[in-house]
Structure 1
Amino acid sequence: MNVGSMIKLTISMAIFGSIGFFTTQTGLPAVELVFVRCICATIFLGGLWLLTGGHKTEVWERKEVLKTVLCGVFIVLNWVFLFKAFEVMSISIAISIYNLAPIFVLMLGSVFLAEKMGIRSICATVICFLGSILIVGIDSFTSIAQFLNSGFVWALLSAICYALTMFTSKTIQGMSSYALTFVQTMVGIVLLFPLSDFNAFTNLTNTNWLYILGTGFIHTGFVYYLFFDSIRDLPTVIVSVLVFVDPVVAILLDAIFLSFRPSFLQVAGIILIFGSILYTVFYPPQQAETVKSNSS
């Protein structure tokens, strides 16, 4: 168990939990906001890459670069779809649907990476997902039509792209985290430049720009460096559980800054999520199997 990578991933997910709040304060549509994020992240990561001298020792392999570009496409689509979901539905509900991603990752890992999913692993992930549902109160929807028209499709597409991002990045081992994220954000700039409406940047306030730069340098540059620097060293099960820190932070920010008071079910959801995280971290499947073998 790589404790350092676990801490990095937890920090990145905790910071990312505030992305919804920041996004709503930027005053920019999804495509334009993601475009600026990619520019900020490229500057941030490129600067660190140069300062550390990593660019001098970087090994470029054609197969790895192609995987990185593909991963970059998934990331950009993930961001655009998620921000479009924020435009038409509440942040909490969008984040809940977004957190279906680990379920997709576990499925992909079991099929393509031959990673075994024991009963404990499945239960921990399912409990986390049920906890996120309790937190955001999916039961508030009164009809299927209302649910589908509320941004569900955008959030689901974002979850799928997020899962593909995590799955693809686990197969990239040769490139450094700086090179990996730098190339991916460059892909975002190239993809979104012709699609951006630059009139959207007029009449923005200083506060808008503060939040825009925050989403670019912190939520994109810093967070995705931590994310990709940690994910390659952790098993899929651990990653799938730790990403649920994200919705918990989102709910806590709602409570602190927007005077939101959680219901009994939402409190129960938080307990389920953290309980499953602690169980998986301190009692992983390998450890469980070892204990069982020693006792028999």
Structure 2
Amino acid sequence: MNISAMLKMTISMAIFGSIGFFTVKTGIPAAELVFVRCICATLFLGACWFITGQHRVEVWNKREVIQTMICGVFLVLNWVFLFKAFEEMSITIAISIYNLAPIFVLIIGSLFLKERMTMTSLFAIVVCFLGSIFIIGIQNFTTPSSFMSSGFVWALLSAVCYAMTMILGKGIKGLSAYAMTFVQTSMGILMLFPFMNYDVFNGLSMSNWLYILGTGLIHTGFVYYLFFDSLRKLSTVIISALVFVDPVVAILLDTLLLDFRPSILQTVGIALIFGGIIYTLVKPNILQVENTIQKL
């Protein structure tokens, strides 16, 4: 067991869990915040890429570069939609829906990649669907306007884009993590540049700027460095467990610092969503461990 890698992964997930709290304190809209985030990540991780000398040994494959660029489009849209969700709903609710991404991986894989849908996967999808209804409030599903204004659509879109990022990223083997992220965040700068409203940066307080730079340098640059540095040194079982540090921190900050109090139905919804996701991630790993023991 690599204790150093586990510690890095835990720290990265804990820091990333505070991104919602930072986002609501920046004072700027979602697109502009993602634009700053892409610039900071490109500079920070680009510097790490060159300092480590990894740029000298990169193997540039045309197909992988194109795939990485498409993956970057979904990554940036994922960030924009998630930050939009933070503007419309509580961090706890947005993060809970955002973490449905593994469920969408199952659905997309079944529909388009001809992957077999197991009873475990189907059960998890049904449980998470019920959790989504409870968490957003059944009353918000009665009219299109109430549904659209709830922020649920933004959070759902962020989860779908995150799922697409995971699916596309799985097939990229030749590029290093630094090169892949550098290409993706550079894509974000190019995508968002024509749509930026630079007036939103006028009149910001020092506190706003600190939260903005924190989101860019800490939550993107530093966190991604820790994440990628530890990712390839840990087993799938450990990673599956540690990724839940992120939503736990996000929910704690939302309830302790932003005074969010979920209703009983929302609490049930949160439990159903994370229960379904944990079941989806843990069940295959348990079976894999059991099969290994039987072989021994």
Distance 1:269 1:180 in 2: 35
**Paired residues for 1:186-225 under 5 Å:** 186-225=186-225
Name the SS for the 1:153 alignment partner. Answer: helix
In the alignment, the residues of structure 2 paired with residue 276 and residue 88 of structure 1 have an alpha-carbon distance, to the nearest angstrom, of: 24
- Structure-2 residue corresponding to 1:290: 291
User: RMSD between aligned alpha carbons?
Assistant: 3.9
User: Which amino acid in 2 is paired with 1:61?
Assistant: N
* Deviation at residue 161 of structure 1 after TM alignment: 0.8
Q: Residue deviations 1:259-292, cap 9 Å, x none?
A: 4456667777777747974995597243365289
Give the Cα separation in 2 of the matches to 1:140 and 1:79: 27
Alignment of 1:1-296 (within 5 A): 11-110=11-110, 118-120=118-120, 123=123, 138=137, 141=140, 143-145=142-144, 146-227=146-227, 230=231, 243-260=243-260, 273=274, 277=278, 281=282, 284-287=285-288, 290=291
- The answer to whether the Cα contact below 8 Å between 1:9 and 1:227 also exists between their aligned partners in 2 is yes
Deviation at residue 20 of structure 1 after TM alignment:
1.2
Contact 1:241 1:276 in 2 (8 A): no
Superimposed CA distance per residue, residues 191-224 of structure 1 (whole angstroms, 9 cap, x where no aligned partner)? 1111101111111111111111111112222333
Q: Distance in 2 between matches of 1:187 and 1:4?
A: 32
1:191–1:232 CA distance, 2 compared to 1 (3 A): farther
- Give the drift of 1:115: 6.0
- Contact 2:2/2:233, CA 8 A, preserved across alignment: no
Deviation at 1:33, TM superposition (A): 0.7
CA distance in 2, matches of 1:10, 1:255: 21
Distance 2:255 2:154 in 1: 25
Distance 2:25 2:91 in 1: 12
Q: Which string of whole-angstrom CA distances, capped at 9 and with x for unpartnered residues, describes residues 55-97 of structure 1?
A: 1111111111111111111111111111122222222222222
Normalised by the length of structure 2, the TM-score is 0.79
Tell me if structure 1 keeps the 8 A contact 2:125–2:276: no
Q: Equivalent residue of 1:204, what SS?
A: coil
Residues 107, 267 of structure 1: CA spacing in aligned structure 2 closer, same or farther, 3 A cutoff?
closer
Contact 1:6 1:234 in 2 (8 A): no
Whichever residue aligns with residue 167 of structure 2, its letter is F
Counterparts of 1:129 and 1:177 in 2: how far apart (Å)? 33
Relative to structure 1, the CA distance from residue 240 to residue 127 in structure 2 (aligned partners, 3 Å threshold; closer, same or farther) is farther
Contact 2:103 2:277 in 1 (8 A): no
1:193 and 1:279, CA in 2 relative to 1: closer, same or farther beyond 3 A?
closer
CA apart distance, 1:14: 3.3
- Relative to structure 1, the CA distance from residue 178 to residue 9 in structure 2 (aligned partners, 3 Å threshold; closer, same or farther) is same
Partner Cα distance (2:7, 2:175) in 1: 21
Give distance in 1, aligned partners of 2:23 and 2:285. Answer: 35
* Kept in 1: contact 2:92–2:251 (CA 8 A): yes
Counterpart Cα distance in 2 of 1:67 and 1:231: 20
AA aligned opposite 1:47:
A
Greater Cα offset, 266-275 or 213-222: 266-275
Cα deviation, 1:34-68, whole Å, max 9, x if unaligned, reads: 11000000111011111111111111111111111
For structure 2, which runs of at least 5 residues remain unmatched after alignment?
none
Structure 1 residues not aligned, in runs of 5+? none
Structure 2 counterpart SS, 1:25: helix
Shift of 1:11: 4.6
Contact 2:40 2:221 in 1 (8 A): yes
1:121-175 per-residue CA deviation (whole Å, 9 max, x = no partner) reads 66567667767877x5645758444233222222222111111011111110111
For 1:4 and 1:171, the matched residues in 2 are separated by 27
State how far apart, in whole Å, the 2-side matches of 1:213 and 1:115 are. Answer: 41
SS at match of 1:73: helix
Give the residue type in structure 1 aligned to 2:29. Answer: P
Quote the Cα distance in structure 2 between the aligned partners of 1:243 and 1:148.
29
In the alignment of these two chains, the number of paired residues is: 292
Whole-Å Cα distance in 1 between the matches of residues 109 and 81 of structure 2? 23
